[in-house]
């Protein structure tokens, strides 16, 4: 497939979005509340309260990165990965020239693979480093074009523009079309999943995270990642926006060797999401 064909397929719409049960229930709730407000004398205050409560629940789901109420959300690898003793290390917000090459060397030294959820504009700024990630056996997936802080407030058009632009950039630079998407900070709203469905992307969050963008103590980050560590886990770390240790080192570079050694000791193998998602 040529580059232009790959880019056009990246934004080709698929079949209509299958509304998840929670969203169908939300629509029915709205209809019922409005109907009660019209047909039952004095029911408008209760109807308005019911709608406000429903919106609060939807907002809460959007603010919970591992929730699947707004649509499919991969938080662990499938059951088949357990038999293969696989986990997925995911690394967000890069590529970062100061950190990413050293991360690649650490992964190579331990014979492990990772998935990099990259910001597309950083990929444009560092295309050779991005291609090196792929050439060394790892995967690059979609983490939006700009990593906007207001991402979770966007509507359908804003989501489509931000995510499709990232798809085009990542496909053009790396030669591989992403199949997975992670929202900035994992935050979203009900308009996101229909856009991902049209673009052929799966929302992926995580099993556990180290909070390494704000915690500079490697021991604390490692403790969060290692708690009940087992096959099928999806672990979240950051090469971009990483917190610094007391010595000024990006904390990922202190944590990753500990994590990789723990995986070896537990007989676990870190694979890309594409590998780990295989049945």
**Each residue of 158-201: pLDDT tens digit?**
999 999 999 999 999 999 999 999 999 999 999 999 999 999 99
Condensed to tens digits (0 to 9), the pLDDT of residues 134-167 reads 999 999 999 999 999 999 999 999 999 999 999 9
- Domain extent listing, the chain: 21-69, 80-276
- pLDDT score at 32: 53
Of residues 158, 151, 154, the one with CA closest to residue 183: 151
Query: Residue 231, SS3?
Result: coil
80-276 sits in which CATH class? alpha beta
Rounded-to-integer distance, Cα 232 and Cα 207, Å = 9
What is the band of 3 on the pLDDT scale with cuts at 50, 70, 90? very low
DSSP-based three-state secondary structure for 274: helix
Q: Which tens digit of pLDDT belongs to each residue from 29-58?
A: 455 545 555 666 776 665 465 455 654 565
Beta-strand ranges (E) seen in 186-255 are 202-203, 208-209, 234-238
- What CA–CA distance (Å, rounded) separates 274 from 139? 8
Q: How far apart are CA 83 and CA 91, in angstroms?
A: 24
Q: Report the C-alpha gap between 173 and 83 in whole angstroms.
A: 34
In angstroms, the CA 84 to CA 78 distance is 11
pLDDT at 9: 37
The phi and psi torsions of 80 (rounded to 5 degrees) equal -60, -30
Cβ–Cβ < 8 Å for 252, 212: yes
What's the mean per-residue pLDDT of the chain? 87
Contact criterion met (CB below 8 Å) for 74 and 196: no
Residues serving a catalytic function are 92, 238
């Amino acid at each position: 497939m040529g580059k232009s064909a790959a880019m056009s397929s990246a934004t080709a719409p698929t079949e209509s979005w299958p509304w998840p049960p929670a969203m169908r229930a939300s629509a029915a709730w709205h209809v019922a509340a409005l109907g009660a407000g019209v047909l039952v004398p004095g029911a408008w205050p209760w109807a308005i309260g019911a709608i406000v409560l429903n919106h609060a629940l939807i907002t809460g789901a959007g603010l919970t990165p591992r929730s699947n109420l707004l649509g499919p959300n991969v938080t662990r690898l499938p059951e088949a990965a357990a038999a293969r003793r696989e986990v997925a290390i995911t690394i967000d917000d890069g590529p970062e020239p100061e950190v990413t090459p050293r991360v690649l060397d650490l992964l190579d030294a331990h014979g492990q693979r990772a998935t990099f959820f990259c910001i597309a504009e950083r990929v444009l700024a560092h295309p050779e480093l991005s291609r090196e990630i792929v050439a060394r056996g790892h995967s690059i997936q979609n983490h939006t074009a700009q990593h906007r802080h207001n991402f979770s407030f966007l509507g359908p058009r804003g989501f489509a523009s931000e995510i499709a632009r990232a798809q085009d950039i990542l496909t053009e630079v790396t030669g591989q079309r992403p199949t997975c998407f992670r929202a900035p900070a994992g935050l979203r709203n009900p308009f996101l999943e229909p856009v991902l469905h049209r673009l052929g992307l799966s929302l992926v969050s995580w099993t556990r995270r180290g909070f390494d963008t704000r915690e500079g103590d490697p021991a604390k980050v490692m403790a969060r990642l290692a708690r009940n560590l087992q096959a099928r886990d999806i672990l979240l770390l950051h090469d971009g926006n990483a917190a610094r240790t007391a010595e000024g080192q990006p904390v990922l570079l202190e944590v990753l060797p500990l994590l990789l050694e723990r995986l070896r000791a537990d007989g676990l193998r870190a694979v890309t999401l594409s590998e780990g998602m295989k049945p």
